[in-house]
A = this chain, B = another copy of it.
Amino acid sequence: MAFRKFLPLFDRVLVERLAAETVTKGGIMLPEKSQGKVLQATVVAVGPGTTNKDGQVQPLSVKVGEKVLLPEYGGTKVILEDKDYFLFRDADILGKYVD
């Protein structure tokens, strides 16, 4: 398989939206009404962060494996190994769920 890993660049975060049914299994009851898009997702890969003007790298605020809440709009669809993923900027992710 030519491709094993996709690394987002700068402050981009690669996420996979939760499948609709798993969401209702006693978890957060998020009606699908926001244009049929599930807004919860799992972080699959994160970029290195951006360098501020003093050359310091500012790490991202989410880590691989965390559950996050996506905004309704924005994001770039990326197809990897026939599956849909989405790229969001770290700053656009609304929040994360901690157990």
Chain A residues in the interface with B (C-beta under 8 A): 1-10, 12, 14, 25-31, 45, 47-48, 51-56, 58, 61-62, 67, 69, 71-72, 76, 78-82, 87, 90-91, 93-99
Contact = CB atoms under 8 A, between A and B. Distances in A.
Given A54-B53, A87-B94, A4 B48 contact: no
A50 B5 CA distance: 28
A9 B80 contact: no
Count the copies. Answer: 7
Contacts of A51: 58
A56 B58 contact: no
A98 B5 contact: yes
B53 A55 contact: no
B71 A9 contact: no
A96 B82 CA distance: 17
A94 B3 contact: no
